[in-house]
Homo-oligomer: A and B are copies of this chain.
């Protein structure tokens, strides 16, 4: 593995999931990371990603240097050939090249603006780091994907599934703000790689990018989608067709206990942070159906497996 920017960077998913589960259960291998430095760059807020990735790196013996880029450092210019006569103080070409000398792996979080589909899909920030860095780059959630979360989700499903081919439903849920499609995109791509029955349910107008959805069944009737579901992954996202918009439809998509009735006593997942009683009701989050805390714990081991693989393949 050279980078971990999209799920396609994974050489062998089965091995990576096994590695994460093994790291979770046994002692660590601190020698591998000794003398190596992880640089974490945040263009946006983070709690789980920040702390679980830092913890994962330290469990491997690495040093970690964290920066809130725009607040602690310099505003970066990403345009090639720009005349830098305004507010951008440093070009990504220099920043990425210099950071590659101070860090052995660079991890970057950069959310989409949700204003301009083409710009967001170009993944300018992450791809610029990939282009100009000489060390591996990890995606800590970018404009269109969150592959560390998707790996976490795969680990969690593998751990907790009770049948060979469980039914997994990804359900849209309401939210007051316009949110990225990164998490549902990567979850969809991950489910397409696993031996599961996968269905997406969302109101009309919220269908995900068809290039990511591909042949995955989309069911606009949430109740029908939940029938016999073993896992229900709840998540809000803004419209892809009306790019970045909140359509103000279907307020009754909040997932509560009543909605779980047609399911196979489904385990409920969410990447967190979750808006209680908007996205998922208290009666689900506070019940045994919820596995969101268990799932969040696996963030550490997903990150650890990815870091370990990158370190091994660098040597």
Contacts and interface: CB of A to CB of B under 8 A. Distances in A.
Interface stretch (A180-188, A206-214, A272-280): A272-280
A45 interface: yes
Interface in A79-118: 81-86, 88-91, 93-95, 97-99, 101-103
Interface string A43-77: 00111101110110011000101011001111001
Contacts of A97: 293, 296
B51 A274 contact: no
A152 interface: no
A260 interface: no
A281 to B, nearest CB: 9
B90 A73 contact: no
A284 to B, nearest CB: 12
Contact of A276 (B37, B82, B274, B296): B82
A250 interface: no
Interface residues of A, number: 60
A253 B72 CA distance: 30
State the majority secondary structure of interface residues on A: mixed
A277 B81 contact: yes
B273 A74 contact: yes
A171 interface: no
Contacts of A273: 74, 89-91, 94-95
11 contacts: A45-B73, A45-B74, A50-B72, A52-B102, A54-B65, A85-B176, A91-B274, A91-B276, A95-B273, A98-B293, A101-B297
